[in-house]
Structure 1
Amino acid sequence: MIDKLSWISVYPEIVLLIMACVIALVDLAVTSARRTATYVLTLLALGVVALLEGLYASGGNTLYGFGNMVVSDPMGNWLACFVSVAMMATLVYGRPYGADRGMMRGGELFTLSMFSVLGMSIMISGNNFLVIYLGLELLTLTSYALVALRRDHVVATEAAIKYFVLGALASGFLLYGLSMIYGATGSLDISEVFKAVNSGHLKHQVLVFGVVFIVTGLGFKLGAVPFHMWVPDIYEGAPTVVSLIIAGAPKLSAFAICIRLLVEGLLPLAVDWQQMLAILAIGSLLIGNVVAISQTNFKRMLGYSTISQMGFVLLGLMSGVVNGNTLSAANAYSSAMFYALTYVLTTLSAFGIILLLAREGFESEEISDLAGLNQVSPLYAGVMAVSMFSFAGIPPLMGFYAKLSVLQALISSGLPSYIALAVFAVIMSLIGAFFYLRVIKVMYFDPPITAATISAPVDVRVVLSLNGALVLILGVLPGGLMTLCAQAIVATLGT
């Protein structure tokens, strides 16, 4: 008999599932070329889910359900809330783009987006290897379908095939690693795995072998070097709205399963997996920033930017345990969470401008397509400038404090190797500033390619302006969001 508490713990996910099915059915009767009814219903559903998750998170309670297979805690609730909000912004930006490219003949964009959010929510709330893997597969399968949504577009179809092959490989690695840990501990429950590993009675070699495959699978999902091959190709080849769906919200769910698997389940093996994350972080910062310099395609450049940004998230995750001491864990993991949220918010505004500038028959994917944007629309040029400055880590924007918090977590460890990593990260950020500032130069100092005015629906203008303002405001006043992340992580680690 399933108790009432179990249903309460997954109530937002139940709402998501029911509404995804309702939206799929309602869309059958929609005849509008822009699927207005489907669009409005999807935003309302995501808004309700975000509100529910926010209320759960504000309550500060941790609930376990279905035999400890799922958990509803402040960290998971806040991340799920931000995932829903990020998807709402993505659909607002992407609806005009999709309508101009024949992606609105049916409501697949909205229903698949809802199911991808459901997959992310399941990943975030999973307290069991199988639940996490089921959520991950739901997310990846919907992502494959979204990339291939433009069936008549050869480049998108090629990107979908690449994504499918590499995604299947990544899922295989992760599943094999989880099976190794299950074989060693005899349990799929994350808390039971922690107890078994912490007992010290298991073969260390078998556990480390499993951790290697788990970190490999997580590296694929984060897009970290050397498992980054799919990122620039998919960003460039997928329809831009789908590129944003993949680039934004899923990074929050990937961060969540890193915390669930590595911290909550395998923290006694931190010495081993932190070394692996350090290698991934170094490679991501180096390759992401250096290779991005040579890119002329804006979406591809943002792909390499994502790789370098994930390097900073990994630096935060790897600095939680110092010489076996977990006193700095909350500070380190909350800085990584704050960085992940910063990345998603900034990515939304950057891709939002690309989607805004794209029109029928013109993708606006090259950096040169932004030439003279300030002369055509100072507002949109300003939003893009704020995004680029934030990515580069220039104060007083949100990205500066995100980088600062991660560097502070590294330096506070007092270890010479960690301090050297912090110096390396700063140097790579200086290199990365070049390709971000190049975009600013093109917008403000190059002559415009066309004198055509930029028009956008009211909802796009409002959300985009609010998005850009938040990147600035949360940079000037970062304390509230930082405190929220810290409290969420402390509450999660405390259970």
Structure 2
Amino acid sequence: MTTPTIEWAALTPILIVLGTAVFGVLVEAFVPRRARRPVQATLSLAALAGALAAVVWRWTAVLDDGPKSAVKLAGERPAGVGTLQEDLPALAFQAFILVCSLLAFLVFADRTRTGEGSFAASAATEPGSLDEREATEAGYEQTEIFPLGLFAVGGMLAFTSAGDLLTLFIALEVLSLPLYVLCATARRRRALSQEAALKYFILGAFSSAFFLMGAALLYGFSGSLDYWSIASALLQSTGMDALLVAGSALVLAGLLFKVGAAPFHSWTPDAYQGAPTPVTGFMAAGTKIAAFGAMLRFAYSIGRGAETELRPVFWAIVILTMLVGTVGGIVQSDVKRMLAYSSIAHAGFVLIGVGAYSRDGIRSVAFYLLAYGLASVGAFAVVTLVRQKSADGSILGEATSLRAWRGLGKTNPFLAGAMALFLLSFAGIPLTGGFMGKFFVFKAGYSSGEAVLVFLAVLASAATAFFYFRLILLMFFRDPAPGTATVASEGLSAAAILAAAAGIVLTGVAPNAVWSFLDNAMAFIL
């Protein structure tokens, strides 16, 4: 049995996040209940900021010394090739994940001025039971959400840098399992939250089965699970090309589930609606960035060997994804479900960049994901602060019905203005990051011969603008809806909204800085 070579410095960002997550579990065991929330929130935010600083440090190290293998098995391998890669593409995606996660955790930690957060007092109690009522009245808080979130972030970081299929699967499960649990922790409408978590878990298990079967077929094709060996086998005539095509298709199916592409999208609307809103924003941003980062590495190192055979299927998936996301979003009357279908449509747009198989395609995908991630975290942060109000003036849960958002621009111009900015970015309106992301992706697709897909994407993008502008119209050109109020919070959500809005504007009006950064980072993927 061979001993792997480990570059511990290259693992620093992942170690900081996962190490803090483990420490957070100990906090749950030994820190008094009343002190857990500030301790966990401070630890989590510090860990994410520290990991981001470590990514910057490792970026300079890779620029100086070249890519490294963070974990390398024995045997002949080129420099920088191993179980976990440390190269500029991985570090760029890790930086984007950490930025979006840092903003999402600010929303995690926020509460109303009355001390009410988005998470159940005790997620293990039965909805509507006496135990649940007693936990709520006692003021308990589900602070386990912080280490669970950090475990998910750690999985995302490893997902983007995995250099073999076994490591990719482990990272997939590390990021997925905490999300299944987090989906079931909503403070209100808990039965819906638990139903959403169960659906997400069951469909996630199916996607994992597809992934494992694909990995097994690729092992049969090449005799190995690492990307370098499989790519080397592509250069030789093995007579087993059917295994390569089938294996690549099944692995990509598992990854397409994580990005919410049709026909693997059915979990998305239910999970987005039922999960606590801060978790929804976290999933929408972090999971998509991580999954597309892993998809790019797989597609550009192995998937190209089956590109010709899979291209008709790929085109069908892109068209179906854009169609489902556009039509589904138009008919929704719930804000969270509308944004869920919006995310499906955006997955179709990003897939055009993935299929471009060019340097511009790679960096256009990364730019798009950054803009989309910032807008998603910001939009769902706004949703957490728009609440229903009872006849006696009591503040209830989130007002997710579109009708409840009428007149928000008159009652709370800050939240309405921020939401309008995020919706305009989703729609691809100029001077927003979303516009530049779509421009870069569509340009890369057109240059690579996907003119038909780009034309359909432009039509779909114009159609999705309908449901974005419908909400803007309700907020600014209708009288305020009775039974709706905005809540005053501790300010963390407002900070996340401001930061996300600033990022959207900066990537829209001055995209060259990010584009140049990505030009260096995306020069190669394995």
The yes-or-no answer on 1:368 pairing with 2:386 is no
Contact 1:297–1:366 under 8 Å retained in 2: yes
Change (3 A) 1:79 1:33: same
Match of 1:53 among 48, 52, 55: 55
Contact 1:33–1:105 under 8 Å retained in 2: no
Contact 1:312–1:336 under 8 Å retained in 2: no
**What's the CA shift string for 1:138-195, capped at 9, x where partnerless?**
1111111111224981111111111111000011001111110011100111111111
Indicate the residue corresponding to 1:8 in structure 2.
9
The yes-or-no answer on 1:96 pairing with 2:128 is no
List aligned pairs for 1:53-132, cutoff 5 A: 53-59=55-61, 60=63, 61-64=66-69, 65-67=71-73, 68-96=82-110, 99=117, 101-103=119-121, 105-132=141-168
Count of matched residue positions in the alignment of Structure 1 and Structure 2: 482
Following superposition, the deviation at residue 390 of structure 1 comes to: 0.6
Query: Bigger CA drift: 241-250 or 33-42?
Result: 33-42
Find the aligned partners of 1:480 and 1:349 in 2 and give their Cα distance.
22
Following superposition, the deviation at residue 453 of structure 1 comes to: 5.6
Contact 2:118–2:276 under 8 Å retained in 1: no
List aligned pairs for 1:72-221, cutoff 5 A: 72-96=86-110, 99=117, 101-103=119-121, 105-150=141-186, 153-221=190-258
Unaligned residue ranges in structure 1 (runs of 5+): 321-328
Give the partner amino acid of 1:355. T
Query: Bigger CA drift: 390-399 or 65-74?
Result: 65-74
The yes-or-no answer on 1:468 pairing with 2:501 is yes
**What's the CA shift string for 1:1-37, capped at 9, x where partnerless?**
9687622221222222221111221244143388112
| Counterpart secondary structure, 2:273 | helix
Following superposition, the deviation at residue 372 of structure 1 comes to: 1.1
Contact 2:324–2:345 under 8 Å retained in 1: yes
| Counterpart secondary structure, 1:26 | helix
Q: Hey, which of these two has a bigger chunk of helix by percent?
A: 1
Find the aligned partners of 2:260 and 2:486 in 1 and give their Cα distance.
36
Indicate the residue corresponding to 2:125 in structure 1.
none
Indicate the residue corresponding to 2:423 in structure 1.
388
Change (3 A) 1:398 1:364: same
List aligned pairs for 1:443-462, cutoff 5 A: 443-450=475-482, 452=485, 454-462=487-495
List aligned pairs for 1:326-341, cutoff 5 A: 329-341=358-370
**What's the CA shift string for 1:42-78, capped at 9, x where partnerless?**
1001110111012212443311123211111111112
Find the aligned partners of 1:47 and 1:24 in 2 and give their Cα distance.
19
Following superposition, the deviation at residue 452 of structure 1 comes to: 4.7
Indicate the residue corresponding to 1:26 in structure 2.
27
**What's the CA shift string for 1:183-228, capped at 9, x where partnerless?**
1100111111111113233422221111221222122111101111
The yes-or-no answer on 1:267 pairing with 2:316 is no
Contact 1:53–1:80 under 8 Å retained in 2: yes
Indicate the residue corresponding to 1:296 in structure 2.
333
Query: Bigger CA drift: 398-407 or 350-359?
Result: 350-359
| Counterpart secondary structure, 2:481 | coil
Change (3 A) 1:43 1:357: same
Contact 2:118–2:278 under 8 Å retained in 1: no
Contact 1:196–1:202 under 8 Å retained in 2: no
**What's the CA shift string for 1:387-431, capped at 9, x where partnerless?**
111101110111111111111112223x3xx21211111111111
Find the aligned partners of 1:252 and 1:101 in 2 and give their Cα distance.
25
**What's the CA shift string for 1:255-281, capped at 9, x where partnerless?**
121022211233232223343322211
Query: Bigger CA drift: 215-224 or 9-18?
Result: 9-18
Contact 2:211–2:254 under 8 Å retained in 1: yes
| Counterpart secondary structure, 1:136 | helix
Give the partner amino acid of 1:39. A
Following superposition, the deviation at residue 440 of structure 1 comes to: 0.5
Match of 2:384 among 331, 355, 362: 355
Find the aligned partners of 2:88 and 2:293 in 1 and give their Cα distance.
12
Give the partner amino acid of 1:448. P
Find the aligned partners of 2:239 and 2:371 in 1 and give their Cα distance.
39
Indicate the percent of aligned positions where both proteins have the same amino acid.
30
| Counterpart secondary structure, 1:213 | helix
| Counterpart secondary structure, 2:235 | helix
Find the aligned partners of 2:6 and 2:46 in 1 and give their Cα distance.
26
Find the aligned partners of 1:220 and 1:177 in 2 and give their Cα distance.
14
Unaligned residue ranges in structure 2 (runs of 5+): 74-81, 122-139, 389-394
Give the partner amino acid of 2:454. A
Indicate the residue corresponding to 2:135 in structure 1.
none
**What's the CA shift string for 1:89-109, capped at 9, x where partnerless?**
112113335725434624211
Change (3 A) 1:15 1:31: same
Following superposition, the deviation at residue 333 of structure 1 comes to: 1.4
Following superposition, the deviation at residue 459 of structure 1 comes to: 2.8
CA-based RMSD: 2.0
| Counterpart secondary structure, 1:248 | helix
Contact 1:185–1:202 under 8 Å retained in 2: no
| Counterpart secondary structure, 2:85 | strand
TM-score for the superposition, normalised by structure 2 = 0.87
List aligned pairs for 1:373-452, cutoff 5 A: 373-413=408-448, 415=449, 418-450=450-482, 452=485
Find the aligned partners of 2:271 and 2:342 in 1 and give their Cα distance.
14
Find the aligned partners of 1:20 and 1:72 in 2 and give their Cα distance.
22
Give the partner amino acid of 2:402. I
Find the aligned partners of 2:340 and 2:496 in 1 and give their Cα distance.
23
Give the partner amino acid of 2:477. F
Indicate the residue corresponding to 2:392 in structure 1.
none
Give the partner amino acid of 2:229. E
Indicate the residue corresponding to 1:37 in structure 2.
39
List aligned pairs for 1:244-259, cutoff 5 A: 244-259=281-296
